[in-house]
Amino acid sequence: MLSDFKNRRRSATAEPPAPTPNSAPAVSQEAPKPMADCWQHIGIWGNNSCPELKAHLHCRNCPTYAAAALRLLDARPPADYRREWTEHLAERTTTAAAGTPFLVFRIGDDWLALGIGAMEEVGETRPIHTLPHRREGVLLGVVNVRGELLVCVSVGRLLGIKKGVGTEEALPGKAAGRLLVVSHGGARYALPVTEVRGVQHLVLPPEPPAPALDDQVMGAAGLSRVEWRGRSVCCLAEEKLFAALNRSLA
Amino acid sequence: MLFLVFQVGVDRYALEAARVTEVLALVELRKIAGAPVGTAGEFTYRGEPVPVLDLCQLTLGRASNLRLSTRILLLRHEVQHGVFKPLGLIAEHATELVQKNLGEFTAVSDELMAQDPRGRLRLLQLDQLLTPELRDLLAVYYFTQTLEADAV
């Protein structure tokens, strides 16, 4: 209806009015209909008389103009278009990063990595409000993350890392400390860590070798140990980590 | 939730964008020998062969029109529980995205429909479209792929 109105001026002067479909344009075997270029006549490139201009200010903001732009894609593909795309898509991409994305971080002296699926944000450290009678164990207290109180837990203590965060001497400088906000199964936790090295693509071995017997971190929630820039990083298994967390909080 | 909108003939359909890996140009397809009606062929995507079904052929019995807006939606198709394989669907007028909630789609007979400023929007239910012959073809196709991949 709207386009009928917009084309009224043009169809009165130029061509006999074409029957305009009032539903979505049907895909037909014949070539697409000539475009109704109201913007050339009553729009911004015409005489500015279109009442819709008050609302949209410029034709490029108008849905009629956008719909006309989409109709350009109803044209037949140019010669060689399909062949070029076929060749282009058949090639293997070599630039894509191999491996699984993990957030690599450090707690004490141990480098850990957790899949980014669970990660919500990395933020500044915040004051941890301790809870009465819960001085020991994994639960450090609660932190305020943008007005929401989150349970703050020490992964260091959970995994048995010796110099875990939460003990004072573990933080070498205040600027280095970060607070990870992770979520799993609807529950959100805040995890203070010593340092974050961003998202890295780590290639996990298909069959991880059995962890060393004294490797406490791997035993607690490890998936596999990988080499990353000369360091041994322990990739954590999300399921195991959160199961252990829930057990120790209960 | 984001939905990809396309047309099959004059009917507008929506498909969860999360299921779509990539929207590709309508590339040249190789025929699959002995394939049932609805299969358009196969093409090589990043070194891997992908079977392609034609939505128009499946529902209307005619091939999709060759237009710039007719594109291949590359899906992650769940063959078995937890096993995903690439599958191409040829769809006409695959040019739009809409934001909708799944709850806006209401069941009308055995279709899920939602109202939209431009008319009705049907939710594409691929499982209903796949005939037993097509399922068999896809199962055999993916199985041969894994065999060939193992051989290499």
What digits encode the pLDDT tens for the residues A84-123? 999 999 888 765 567 788 999 988 888 899 988 888 999 9
pLDDT of residue B6: 94
Among partner residues A27, A72, A93, which is closest to B65 by beta-carbon distance? A27
- What are the strands, taking DSSP E only, across B17-103? 20-25, 39-45, 48-54, 71-80, 83-99
| Torsion over CA: B145, B146, B147, B149 (sign) | positive
A214 vs A62, higher pLDDT: A62
**Model pLDDT for residues A115-155, shown as the tens digit of each residue:** 888 889 999 888 999 888 877 788 889 999 989 999 999 88
User: What is the structure's pLDDT at A157?
Assistant: 86
Q: What is the pLDDT of residues B70-102, one digit of tens each?
A: 999 999 998 888 888 999 999 999 998 998 888
Residues sharing a CB contact under 8 Å with residue A137, sequence separation 6 or more, in sequence order: A157, A248
Residue B26's pLDDT band (cuts 50, 70, 90): very high
- The answer on pLDDT for A174 being more than 80 is no
Give the type of residue at A135.
Answer: R
How close is the nearest chain B Cα to the Cα of A42, in Å? Answer: 24
CA distance B8 to chain A (A): 9
Are A91 and B46 inside 8 Å of each other by CB? yes
Give the CA distances from residue B86 to residues A16, A95, A211, in Å, rounded to whole numbers and listed in that order: 49, 20, 35
Average pLDDT score over residue span A196-205? 86
Q: Average pLDDT for residues A24-39, to the nearest whole number?
A: 55
Mean pLDDT, rounded, for B60-73? 93
Compare CB distances from A24 to B12, B65, B69 and report the shortest one's residue. B12
- What number is the ipTM of this complex? 0.85
**Residue B38: which of B24, B55, B26 has the closest Cα?**
B55
Q: Please count the other Cβ atoms lying within 10 Å of the Cβ belonging to residue A207.
A: 7
Query: Do residue A89 and residue B28 have CB atoms under 8 angstroms apart?
Result: no
Return the number of CB contacts < 8 Å for A and B. Answer: 72
pLDDT at position A69 over 90: no
CA distance A173 to chain B (A): 42
CA distance B95 to chain A (A): 7
* pLDDT score, position A23: 46
For residue B29, pLDDT over 50 is answered with yes
Percent of chain A predicted with pLDDT > 70: 78
- Which residues in chain B have Cβ-Cβ distances shorter than 8 Å to A95? none
Average pLDDT, chain A: 78
- Whether B44 sits inside 8 A of A23 (CB atoms) is no
Band of the pLDDT at A10, cuts 50, 70, 90?
A: very low
Identify the pLDDT of residue A2.
46
> What does pTM read for this prediction?
0.55
Residue of A3, A23, A27, A76 to mutate for B, most B C-beta atoms under 10 A: A27
What pLDDT is attached to residue A96?
57
Q: How far apart are CA A189 and CA A181, in angstroms?
A: 6
Q: How confident is the model at residue B67 (pLDDT cuts 50, 70, 90)?
A: very high
pLDDT confidence of residue A214:
73
Which residues does A contribute to its contact with B (CB < 8 Å)? Answer: 23-24, 26-27, 29, 70, 72-77, 81-83, 85-86, 89-93
Q: What is the pLDDT of residue A95?
A: 59
Spell out which chain B residues touch chain A, with contact meaning CB-CB distance below 8 angstroms.
Answer: 7, 9-10, 12, 24-28, 43-47, 65-69, 92-93, 95-96, 118-119
